[in-house]
Amino acid sequence: MLPTVFLDYASTNHNDLDLSQLEQVGQPLILWDHTSPETLLEHIGDAEIVISNKVVVDASTLHRLKEQLKLICIAATGTNNVDLAAAKALGIPVCNVRNYGSRSVAEHCIGLIFALARQIPAYHQAVQAGTWQQSKHFCFLDYPISEIAGKTLGIIGYGTLGQATADLARAIGMKVIIAERLDAISIRPDRVSLDELFAQADVISLHCPLTEQTKGLINAERLRKMKPTAFLINTARGGLINETDLLEALQNNLIAGVGLDVLSLEPPTAANPLLQHSSPQLIITPHIAWASLKARQTLIDKIAEIIAKFQQGELLNQVN
């Protein structure tokens, strides 16, 4: 049996995962911590099954290996790192992993909302700077604190992750409104238009995939439609937001706060405008909303299940 190769295993593992199920179906299993474009072909070698979290497998690579590759497993739900059209044309099935980190992402999303509403970064920085120690009272109230209960959460993208976030939001007393799909002809009774969502929401949370239609979805025009007291949360894909427009909105107080777990380029460079803006109203975490231990273990086990089913002649979660 030809090997199974995981191109960027270190993006999922911190020496804390049980690989037994994956090793059983992937024999022999080759794990690469990291794969660059320059080492892609070398790392794939003669593998028939390739696992990739974020390593790009483009059309030229697929055409070069069309007689060899039998299955590509994306170790994530998002599929924008693989040229699906080329893979389909060449008869190479591509399968992704679903429903492995919905609770982890939802909890991170709600955590970002609380951090902004309770001004946790601002107060932490103030304590670190010695402000509390100099206070004449047992507390100081330099930064206004708001409560989440009763506020309206607007969700754009109501798949598994959006639904999990909505469930937690309702549990803490938030009202939830859901944006209608961008390509919808009419508005369903349980949905609202995008314009209505931007006007009503106290918090907007993004959970939609990155496509040509959604790229730059959050731009200057839409940011101006938000309440000046509203927060924007993105745990989906960085490309959904025009980052220059977002920075201008923050600097001009058009919105009250932003919580991001994703950026347009990852890892980012110093040129990213958001990284040049130091403010407790901007919280950026390094794409780890999905990464609880339980979620990462579930991811690995689901990849093993996909490969096992493929070996039995069945395709799970095929996306092309």
In a domain, 316, yes or no: no
Is there a single domain that holds both residue 280 and residue 299? Answer: no
Q: Do residues 298 and 18 lie in contact, with contact meaning Cβ atoms separated by under 8 Å?
A: no
Is 224 among the residues known to form the active site? no
User: Of 42, 221, 266, 314, which one is the catalytic site residue?
Assistant: 266
Instruction: List the domain range (segments joined by +) for residue 201.
Output: 102-284
Cα dihedral across residues 263, 268, 274, 279: positive or negative: positive
Is there a single domain that holds both residue 176 and residue 57? Answer: no
What pTM value is reported for the model? Answer: 0.89
User: Of 43, 108, 207, 287, which one is the catalytic site residue?
Assistant: 287
Is there a single domain that holds both residue 91 and residue 106? Answer: no
In a domain, 320, yes or no: no
In a domain, 178, yes or no: yes
pLDDT tens digit at each of 320 positions of the chain: 678 999 999 999 989 999 999 999 988 999 999 999 999 999 999 999 999 999 999 999 999 999 999 999 999 988 889 999 999 999 999 999 999 999 999 999 999 999 999 999 999 999 999 999 999 999 999 999 999 999 999 999 999 999 999 999 999 999 999 999 988 889 999 999 999 999 999 999 999 988 889 999 999 999 999 999 999 999 999 999 999 999 999 999 999 999 999 999 999 999 999 998 989 999 999 999 999 999 999 999 999 999 999 999 999 999 99
Is there a single domain that holds both residue 205 and residue 111? Answer: yes
Dist. CA 182–CA 266, nearest whole Å: 26
Tell me the C-alpha to C-alpha distance, in Å, between residue 104 and each of 47, 58, 168, 235, 295: 32, 30, 11, 11, 7
Cis peptide before 144 (omega within 30 of 0): no
Is 287 among the residues known to form the active site? yes
Domains of the chain: total: 2
Residue 166 is part of a domain; what is its CATH number? 3.40.50.720
User: Of 222, 237, 243, 296, which one is the catalytic site residue?
Assistant: 237
Is there a single domain that holds both residue 65 and residue 151? Answer: no
Is 237 among the residues known to form the active site? yes
Is there a single domain that holds both residue 161 and residue 274? Answer: yes
Q: Provide the token pair at 31.
A: 């794990």
Is there a single domain that holds both residue 125 and residue 235? Answer: yes
